Structure 1
Amino acid sequence: MTDQIKIPCLFMRGGTSRGPYLLKSDLPEDLNQRDKILLAIMGSPDVRQIDGIGGADPVKSKVAILSKSDEEGVDVNYHFAQVKIDEPIVDTKPSCGNMLIGVGPASIERGLVKASDGETKVTIRDVNTGMKIEEIVQTPGGEVSYDGDFKIDGVPNSGTPVEIRFLDSIGSKTKKLFPTGNKIDKINGKECSLVDAAMPVVFFRATDFGVTGNESHLELNQNQNLIDEMGKIRIELGKRIGFGDVSKSVIPKVALVSKPDKGSIKSRYFMPWSCHNGYAITGSICLMAASKSRGTICSEFYSDYSDKGSFEIEHPTGISKLNLEIDYKGDEIVNLVAGTTRHARLIMSGDVHVQKSKLK
């Protein structure tokens, strides 16, 4: 009798993140047991994640859990889990738009969605936030294509484009675009804008913390005072909006904004204890909503309030681009549809093995 259990797994890169894609039916219904399995799969808690398949980096310590949806007009339910690296914590409150890029391809690979010849539309319900998303996956001959010539910043190789549209992102966790009721709050002497669109994010001026906003993610990760100072404000805001103690939770995220060189805005996005080398898709949508709203910290660096077009974010490894459609009521955003194009790749398929002793 083996002392390990094996769980079917697709190991994929989605956008600028990567991790295992698992079927909900292959995991325990008991959430405590499920989380123990996810921790063991990733090798947490351990800063190296040496005994699992985690990459010792927040963007490589993520899990996608998939199931066929019973909801009319929705093909697949996507449940995201952020697995803490150095603590035994599995956080399912946030979502991840980069891992979401792999959901369409993974759903086809695992038989949750039947592929068409040419391209396949996959409609997804994000269980974490309730958002509804459409993905267009290229499926020539009824099989997912991965090897294309489409490039994205933050990934060295090209791939086949996956188009994605977020159909309802306003108030993803709080049901409000501005959860505190204010466009700018002042906490611990620092002004900030807490915005909730696809992901709750606290935006700060980079210069208010003595940085320029041009720094690399590696430089910012060495600035522990900056991370701690933003963290204290994040924790206070979490209490104010009813999230409770967010000291161990990854939401809300935090970001620094500054004047762009050639894009729409320049920003550095934190997850929240380290700086992203690119930009999360959900965070990108939130930054766009914040910038398109007059009177926020972000709007100080942005002035295009058109209801259609594109939005470009300068981040440490390049530029991320979104397409947008916005419904305004006066100056207030009442509906936002955001789209972007990324690519995903299936890296490995098979079984991931977990020691039974880890489940006790």
Structure 2
Amino acid sequence: MTGPTEVRCMLMRGGTSKGAYFLADDLPTEQTVRDELLLRIMGSPDPRQIDGLGGGHPLTSKVAVVSPSAGPEADVDYLFLQVAVDKAEVSDRQNCGNLLAGIGPFAVERGLVRAGTDETSVRIRMVNSGDFATATFPTPDGRADYGGDTEISGVPGSAAAVVIEFPPRKGELLPTGNVRDTVAGIEVTCVDNGMPTVLMPAGALAVTGQEDPTDLEGNRELTARLHDIRLAAGRLMGLGDVTGTTVPKLTLLSAPRHGGAVTTRTFIPTRVHTSIGVLGAASVAAGLRIEGSVAHGIAALPAEGDRLRIEHPSGFTEIESSIEHAPDGGLRARRTAVVRTARKIFDGTVFPVPPTGGRS
């Protein structure tokens, strides 16, 4: 079985990423068949993904699979799949908070959720991790409206706001149990507020943390060290062997330059994010709030309020974050919310590259 020769698909920008959104019922149920089909749809493996929907970068080679929720806690289930660009690999090992911004509107477009007359809130279960989120967005006259005046860094122009709120997570913010760990010779803080993330002072790696992403990607000594750090941190965080995965994320921290709380450069895992992922920003923000983390002496936290501005290569992401002590004495997130935008780019039929052996 090689999967269908044409598939109903919606291409959407979600936050600072772009991906193909599918109903689960429109894809093969068998994972290997589904993944092989998605590789052909996105045009992988090929550095340019010239024969598919992908844009030649991890941020534009993403897939969202949506279905009615299997449980009463959510309206829809959202499975995120990262399709590799230059190799035949599809991973479900992480969430994507950027594509998450498009899940609510997509659910309304496909009739999975009835829209309100002014705005709609959609409860979403993120299948990859089991976490939940609620997305609220405008639906005047019962239709998803993508136009608005909300701007986010990394996206030209403006669009309608999608407010995403995450309920308090049950898991421990510090998966290693420590505020600081020494990994591959440097002190780091391992934090998980929806995305396993390793926070590192940029100066400890002999860079400023203000460099252009391409310069960091071209620093072979740095990327080799980061590879070692990621593998060691993955084991410490209980993720096992992360050689073939994109988690944990690695985020360099340096002092803010434009009035924010901190400057970031995030590796995914070897390419540098041109902005920052929503869930990655949530983990960074929580890490900044933890007393004694490696952000101490680097971050400039506001005197009051929960809102933090996380600076990144193309601007900033504003996120509301607070933490608290759990009954067992550990730390947990109390509130996490972020404003994103999303836009429907096309809705129609995608024709995957035929399987090896011929063209149609």
Instruction: Give yes or no for the alignment of 1:225 onto 2:221.
Output: yes
1:116 aligned counterpart, secondary structure: coil
TM-score (norm 2): 0.93
**Equivalent residue number for residue 262 of structure 2:** 265
The structural deviation recorded for 1:170 is 5.7
- Check whether the contact 2:264–2:312 (CA below 8 A) recurs between aligned residues: yes
2:98 aligned counterpart, secondary structure: helix
**Equivalent residue number for residue 340 of structure 1:** 338
- Output the aligned Cα RMSD: 2.1
**Equivalent residue number for residue 130 of structure 1:** 130
- Check whether the contact 1:45–1:87 (CA below 8 A) recurs between aligned residues: yes
**Equivalent residue number for residue 90 of structure 2:** 90
1:229 aligned counterpart, secondary structure: helix
2:304 and 2:30 map into 1 onto residues whose CA distance is 45
1:161-176 matches, cutoff 5 A: 161-169=161-169, 171=171, 176=172
- Gap regions ≥5 residues in structure 1: none
**Equivalent residue number for residue 215 of structure 1:** 211
- Check whether the contact 1:308–1:326 (CA below 8 A) recurs between aligned residues: no
**Equivalent residue number for residue 114 of structure 1:** 114
Letter in 1 for 2:162: V
The structural deviation recorded for 1:302 is 3.3
Instruction: Give yes or no for the alignment of 1:295 onto 2:272.
Output: no
The structural deviation recorded for 1:286 is 0.3
1:299 and 1:76 map into 2 onto residues whose CA distance is 39
2:354 and 2:103 map into 1 onto residues whose CA distance is 28
1:312 and 1:162 map into 2 onto residues whose CA distance is 18
The structural deviation recorded for 1:228 is 2.0
After superposition, give the CA deviation of every residue in 1:97-121 in whole Å (9 maximum; x if it has no partner). Answer: 0000000111111111111111011
Instruction: Give yes or no for the alignment of 1:350 onto 2:348.
Output: yes
**Equivalent residue number for residue 248 of structure 2:** 252
What stretches of structure 1 move > 4 A for 4+ residues in a row? 303-308, 329-332
1:200 and 1:242 map into 2 onto residues whose CA distance is 10
1:137 aligned counterpart, secondary structure: strand
1:106 and 1:155 map into 2 onto residues whose CA distance is 19
The structural deviation recorded for 1:208 is 1.2
After superposition, give the CA deviation of every residue in 1:74-105 in whole Å (9 maximum; x if it has no partner). Answer: 11100001111111111101001000000011
1:190-201 matches, cutoff 5 A: 190-201=186-197
- Check whether the contact 1:213–1:267 (CA below 8 A) recurs between aligned residues: yes
TM-score (norm 1): 0.93
1:246 and 1:256 map into 2 onto residues whose CA distance is 19
- Check whether the contact 1:217–1:277 (CA below 8 A) recurs between aligned residues: yes
- Gap regions ≥5 residues in structure 2: none
- Check whether the contact 2:286–2:323 (CA below 8 A) recurs between aligned residues: no
- Check whether the contact 1:292–1:305 (CA below 8 A) recurs between aligned residues: no
1:326 and 1:358 map into 2 onto residues whose CA distance is 51
Letter in 2 for 1:350: G
- Check whether the contact 1:170–1:196 (CA below 8 A) recurs between aligned residues: no
Q: Kindly tell me the number of residue pairs found equivalent between the two proteins.
A: 354
1:354 aligned counterpart, secondary structure: coil
Letter in 2 for 1:99: L
CA gap of 1:85–1:170, structure 2 versus 1, over 3 A, is farther
Instruction: Give yes or no for the alignment of 1:327 onto 2:305.
Output: no
1:302-317 matches, cutoff 5 A: 302=299, 304=301, 308-317=305-314
The structural deviation recorded for 1:195 is 1.0
**Equivalent residue number for residue 274 of structure 1:** 271
2:193 and 2:16 map into 1 onto residues whose CA distance is 20
**Equivalent residue number for residue 153 of structure 1:** 153
The percent identity for this pair of structures is 38
